[in-house]
């Protein structure tokens, strides 16, 4: 038998063996299960019923976090439902309990009008204080591009969007569908300059 015939026969046999072996050992790919993907998202309810005058800023701050992290979703609590994040309007400086808050637990956010009176942006304040609830400390002093730089970025700063590092830290804190098992501690962070 000529060499070319042997090579063609050998190549065909090898291909047949490989195809058969691959079919015999291949397992079906797992089906995509949307319910499993949804289970990884932590839903945190907020109550802003005592935050009169801040509704638009809170809605914008919530929208910013919901658009920038995928495993935490902030939703407004239905009346009479316990919320994990209680938001109130005050006359002092903004402050919040440092999280990360876990479902069934509770933190408090105070949106202070003193900061607004000095020229700070309401939406940035609301998004910043929500960031504390999600486990982010202040990064003062810091540039306007860091949401958690707070008042140190100055009154001209209106950025209410977490940067990549801030998003990553929140994603890590709520990885696998639960807040990281770190003590919330109840530490209050006051955001006065």
Q: Cα separation of 95 and 105, whole Å?
A: 18
Q: Given this model, what pLDDT does residue 77 score?
A: 97
Q: Given this model, what pLDDT does residue 191 score?
A: 63
- If you ran DSSP here, which 8-state letter would residue 107 be given? E
Q: Given this model, what pLDDT does residue 12 score?
A: 44
User: Which portions of the chain are predicted below pLDDT 50?
Assistant: 1, 3-39, 180-184
Length of the chain: 193
- In 3-state terms the chain splits into helix, strand, coil percentages (rounded to 5) of 40, 15, 40
pTM: 0.75
Q: Given this model, what pLDDT does residue 134 score?
A: 97
Q: Cα separation of 103 and 114, whole Å?
A: 31
Catalytic residue among 76, 84, 110, 129: 129
Q: What are phi and psi of 122, to 5 degrees?
A: -60, -40
Q: What are phi and psi of 139, to 5 degrees?
A: -125, 60
Torsion sign, CA atoms 174, 178, 184, 186: positive
Do residues 55 and 89 lie in contact, with contact meaning Cβ atoms separated by under 8 Å? no
For 123-164, write each residue's pLDDT tens digit.
999 999 999 999 999 999 999 999 999 999 999 999 999 999
Do residues 125 and 93 lie in contact, with contact meaning Cβ atoms separated by under 8 Å? no
- If you ran DSSP here, which 8-state letter would residue 118 be given? T
Torsion sign, CA atoms 87, 76, 54, 183: positive
Residue 129 a catalytic site member:
yes
Strands ordered across the beta sheet of 107-112? 72-76, 42-50, 85-90, 107-112, 95-97, 188-190
Q: Given this model, what pLDDT does residue 34 score?
A: 45
Q: Given this model, what pLDDT does residue 37 score?
A: 43
Q: Given this model, what pLDDT does residue 30 score?
A: 39
């Amino acid at each position: 038998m000529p060499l070319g015939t042997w090579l063609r026969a050998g190549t065909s046999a090898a291909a047949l063996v490989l195809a058969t072996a691959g079919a015999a050992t291949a397992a079906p790919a797992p089906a995509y299960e949307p319910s499993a993907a949804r289970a990884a998202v932590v839903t945190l309810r907020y109550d802003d019923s005592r935050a009169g005058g801040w509704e638009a800023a809170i809605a914008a701050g919530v929208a910013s976090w919901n658009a920038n992290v995928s495993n935490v979703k902030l939703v407004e609590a239905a009346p009479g439902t316990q919320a994990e994040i209680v938001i109130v309007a005050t006359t002092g400086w903004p402050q919040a309990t440092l999280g990360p808050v876990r479902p069934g637990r509770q933190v408090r956010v105070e949106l202070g009008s003193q900061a607004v009176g000095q020229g700070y942006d309401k939406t940035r304040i609301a998004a910043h204080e929500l960031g504390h609830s999600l486990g982010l400390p202040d990064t003062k002093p810091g540039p306007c591009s860091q949401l958690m730089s707070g008042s140190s970025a100055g009154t001209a700063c209106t950025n209410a969007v977490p940067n990549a590092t801030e998003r990553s830290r929140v994603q890590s804190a709520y990885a696998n569908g639960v807040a990281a098992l770190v003590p919330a501690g109840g530490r209050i962070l006051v955001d006065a300059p």
